[in-house]
Amino acid sequence: MQATRIIAVRHGETAWNVDTRIQGHLDIALNATGQWQARRLAQALRSEDIAAIYSSDLARARETAQAVATLSGAPLLADPGLRERSFGDFEGRTFAQIERERPEDARRWRQRDPGFVPAGGESLLMLQERIAQTVATLAARHDGEQILLVAHGGVMDMLYRLATHLHLQAPRTWQLTNAAINRLLWTGESLALVGWADTRHLDGASRDESLS
């Protein structure tokens, strides 16, 4: 068995990212900045040999993935296993609102309690299991090839932790930038980190120029 190369990307920016409002499984579209980021991502990956693009089925990820698919010609498939963590009835609120309305829940979330489940949502342990299984399934289809995964901040965080064997409660010291390029390797048994948070394609170009 040969390794599968994985490019993993968080979707472009949304208005709720700017407002620090919790999106979870709510279907929020890209804003103008996010659309620009998706186009810049597509340009950055246009020379990559990508066997398939797998995207979360939520609009913000699908829009980002579609920009790459349109330019590269790689097939695009939606997979709900790549969705963001479900935050249940937290969704649509800001963290400040949750702290004010439900301080004990906010404390458990802030401390990254692995077993804490927002009402109607998922725990970190549940998210970890879902992402590990989804990535293993998708990567196994592409032995010796390269695939692109377009998903969400929580998914990127989990991929980093799985690849570096960091505990779910370890403080985050890595970036989860919208439309950054992250690279991993699937060896058939585990993930390995190759590169993280490459944002060079988002620097040094005006948005007006990208519209031409």
d(CA 118, CA 107): 12
Instruction: Give the separation between CA 149 and CA 64, rounded to whole angstroms.
Output: 11
Q: How far is CA 126 from CA 9, 87, 162, in A?
A: 21, 12, 14
Angstrom distance (rounded) from CA 134 to CA 69 = 20
Question: Of 82, 81, 37, 73, which Cα lies nearest the Cα of 52?
Answer: 73
Residue entry with tokens 């585990």: 190
Q: List residues with catalytic annotation.
A: 11, 84
Contact 42, 14 (CB under 8 A): no
The angle subtended at Cα 101 by Cα 114 and Cα 94, nearest 5°, is 70
The token pair that represents 211 in the structure block? 């519209």
Token match 């007006």: residue?
A: 208
